[in-house]
Amino acid sequence: MNKPVAIGLVGAGPWAGQVHAPAIAAGPHTRLAGVWARRPEAAADLAAAHGSVSYDRLEDLFGHCEAVAFAVPPDVQATLAIQAAKAGKALLLEKPLAMDLDGARDLVEAVGEAGVVSQMVFTLRYSAAARDFLARVTALNPFGGYGQFVSSVLSGGPFATPWRLERGALLDLGPHIVDLLDASLGRVVSVRAHGDPLRWVGLLLEHETGAVSEASLSMAGRGDVPPARIEVFGEHGNETLDWSLLGDDAFTRMITEFAHTVRTGTPHPLDAAHGLHIQQILARAETQLTDPRP
């Protein structure tokens, strides 16, 4: 990977400014080829802060990059990422893939038809602490687990965005927890949900290995909420992953792996198809919460 991968960034909001732009611009395996956003002035400011340029037209950004990273709401991502795939660009995609399952399926179908590589921003999965945890879990012969993620996003702040305020914890926090339980205990094959996405959601997950796990999700926390965590129990003991111990290495590793994925064309295990699998689980849960009939 001698030549840095030229990555265009779609979006210029808080997450793009805090994570995507600095991580891509830092290199050495990537360079920020440009920024496009619905607010041209925000795109220009973000690009200038990282020694890059902004584009008024999305097509112009596509013309100056090999890959595109997305930091926009799920409904926007679903539409624009399809355009990027059709333009032959590799995709770095946020979770969830789309606001609904049809949009997620359309995006994954477009990725497959275009033959481009993709990778999901399941942030926690890239940290050394999480990967060490998953390696230790395999030795437990695990049979069960628990995940908890409580935040105070609904009370305000830069991430109290319209889609989060409307849909709540399931689509925003759910991907992290379900993905890690899926990785720890085996592929999730069924879900039972109860609660309220704007208050508290409980999930009962069954895994293809026969293991069972539970997850608690809320974005309605107040004050100092405890760090999110995953606990896995097995025949040979138990292991815990505490978010507060994850460190700050995840984004660097994520971008480095994305550059390798683009350069080699090798599918990444956290690709769009995996993102669709996780969203299918969450869509079933959401359906149960809105229509609790058996």
Task: Flag whether 40 is in a domain.
Answer: yes
User: 53 in a domain, yes or no?
Assistant: yes
**Pair 102, 176 in one domain:** no
10 and 89, same domain (yes or no): yes
- Enumerate residues 6+ apart whose C-beta is below 8 A from 202: 193, 194, 195, 214, 215, 216, 217
| 279 in any annotated domain | no
pLDDT in tens, 125-157: 999 999 999 999 999 999 999 999 999 988 888
Shortest CA distance to 78 belongs to which of 39, 106, 57?
A: 106
Give the residue among 181, 162, 89, 66 at the shortest CA–CA distance from 190.
181
- Per-residue pLDDT band at 294 (split at 50, 70, 90): low
Q: How far apart are CA 80 and CA 207, in angstroms?
A: 33
Tokens of 16: 């793009």
Is residue 44 in some structural domain? yes
Residue 242 belongs to a domain: yes
Same domain, 196 and 230: yes
| Residue span of the structural domain in which 215 resides | 128-246
Find the mean pLDDT for residues 72-82: 97
- Tell me the residue type at 113: E
**Over residues 54-81, mean pLDDT:** 97
| One domain for residues 64 and 139 | no
Whether 290 is in a domain gets the answer no
> Tell me: the pLDDT tens digits for 150-198?
999 888 888 888 889 899 999 999 999 999 999 999 999 999 999 999 9
Residue 1 has pLDDT above 90, yes or no: no
What residues pair up with 91 in beta bridges, in sequence order?
68, 118
CA separation for the pair 262, 100 (Å, rounded): 27
Instruction: Judge if 158 and 218 occupy the same domain.
Output: yes
pLDDT at 293 over 70: no
The domain tally of the chain equals: 2
Range in 103-117, 245-259, 263-277 the model is least confident about: 245-259
54, 163: one domain? no
Q: Are residues 31 and 111 in the same domain?
A: yes
Cβ burial of 241 (10 Å; 0-12, 13-18, 19+) is buried
Domain-located, residue 276? no
The answer as to whether 150 is a domain residue is yes
Distance CA 217, CA 100 (A): 19
pLDDT digit string, tens, across residues 16-27: 999 999 999 999
Identify whether residues 194 and 134 lie together within a single domain.
Answer: yes
Mean pLDDT value across residues 25-37? 97
Least confident of 42-51, 71-80, 96-105, 154-163: 154-163
Q: Are residues 96 and 169 in the same domain?
A: no
pLDDT at 292 over 70: no
Residue pair 107/97 in contact by the 8 Å Cβ criterion: yes
Q: Provide the pLDDT for residue 290.
A: 87
User: What CATH number has the domain bearing residue 181?
Assistant: 3.30.360.10
Distances (CA, A) of 193 to 100, 102, 196: 17, 21, 9
Residue 115 shares a structural domain with residue 260 = yes
Q: Do 233 and 94 have their domain in common?
A: no
The pLDDT of residue 245 is: 78
Whether pLDDT at 31 is above 90: yes
My answer on whether 115 and 132 are in the same domain is no
The domain that contains 75 carries what CATH number?
3.40.50.720
d(CA 70, CA 77): 7
Residue 98 is predicted with a pLDDT of 97
Q: Rounded mean pLDDT of the chain?
A: 95
- pLDDT tens for 203-220 read 999 999 999 999 999 999
